[in-house]
Amino acid sequence: MARAAVLGRLTWLVGTVAAVREETPTARTIVLDVPGWPGHQAGQHVDVRLTAPDGYSAQRSYSIASPPGGTGLELTVQRLADGEVSPYLTEVLAPGDPLELRGPIGGWFVWRAEDTGPVLLVAGGSGVVPLMAMIRARALSGSRAPFRLVYSVREPETALYASELAERARTDAGLEVTYVYTRSTPAGWRMPAGRINADILTAGQAALPGLSVFVCGPTGFVEAAADLLVDAGHEPGTIKTERFGPSQVSEHE
């Protein structure tokens, strides 16, 4: 039975683009209806495959942005200027178009509604995508687990889901959102632009009992954040990481 489930996840499915939503000047969310979709957990990803008329194909992995439930899913894609797949997904793909995908993939970097302990989410750039799925899953399930998101971006205009995060932080008790701007800050921002540090990650407090940590972003960012947390007293076994490439993008080129 378990083997059949694994084989099912490795089967390519054809989804249909139901809608697209521009998130930033270089990123868009693709809403897909996928008949036969087996369901997913918050934090998992899929493989996407594009095939040219001459038979050449390119395949990339993208985190799922939507919470579990239903036959559809959302992928938020950051465009890479020299990418093979992301320019098509962010500039050409339109509602009604088919898209091949395979998944869900990954069972370790996930948050489940039955996990009631406090959670620290640390995102670099578009590494926020699977963490947003966790935030949405928490709200959908009615979980009261304390969530804190530390989100590092270059400039305010590059932040994904900014309006939604602001609204959720305002209305959802137990969710706290902290931004770190590395190049330029919003007008009147109280802190200068700079990199993430231990004080920001820990909010000046010791690790909460039962705290789970999820860190996602470019490889260098993830390694630096994990090292800072360990140096601050967090147990390495409580820190789950997902990393991709040197740039703040969600396409694993």
Render pLDDT for 78-120 as a digit per residue (tens, 0 to 9).
999 888 999 999 999 999 999 999 999 999 999 999 999 999 9
234-250 residue pLDDT tens: 889 999 999 985 433 33
**91-98: long-range contacts (C-beta < 8 A, 24 or more apart)?**
93/17, 93/20, 93/30, 94/17, 94/20, 95/17, 95/18, 95/19, 95/20, 96/16, 96/17, 97/16, 97/17, 98/14, 98/15, 98/16, 98/17
Q: Could you tell me the pTM of the whole model?
A: 0.91
Q: How far apart are CA 61 and CA 103, in angstroms?
A: 10
Average pLDDT on 147-153 reads: 97
- Confidence category of residue 191, pLDDT binned at 50, 70, 90: confident
Nearest alpha-carbon partner for 233 in 198, 206, 214, 208: 206
| Residue 8 neighbours by CB distance under 10 Å | 11
Question: For residue 190, what pLDDT is reported?
Answer: 87
